[in-house]
Amino acid sequence: MLLVVRHADAGDKGSWDGPDVLRPLSPVGRRQAEGLVVRLEDYPVDRILCSPTVRCHQTVQPLARDRLLRIERVAALGVDADAAEVLALFWDRRLRNAVLCTHGETIGRLLPQLATDGLVAAAPLQWPKGSTWLLQRTNPRQVRARYLAPLALGGRVESG
Mean pLDDT, to the nearest integer, of 58-67? 98
- Per-residue model confidence (pLDDT) at position 16: 86
Mean pLDDT, to the nearest integer, of 61-84? 95
Mean pLDDT, to the nearest integer, of 12-41? 92
Mean pLDDT, to the nearest integer, of 48-74? 98
Average pLDDT taken over every residue of the chain? 90
- pTM here is 0.91
Asked whether residue 97 is assigned to any structural domain, the reply reads yes
For residue 107, give the CATH number of its domain. 3.40.50.1240
Asked whether residue 93 is assigned to any structural domain, the reply reads yes
- Per-residue model confidence (pLDDT) at position 156: 47
Per the structure, the count of domains in the chain is: 1
Enclosing domain of residue 32: 2-148
Asked whether residue 84 is assigned to any structural domain, the reply reads yes
Mean pLDDT, to the nearest integer, of 97-117? 92
- Per-residue model confidence (pLDDT) at position 35: 96
* CA 37/CA 138 separation, integer angstroms: 26
pLDDT band at residue 90 under the 50/70/90 scheme: very high
Asked whether residue 154 is assigned to any structural domain, the reply reads no
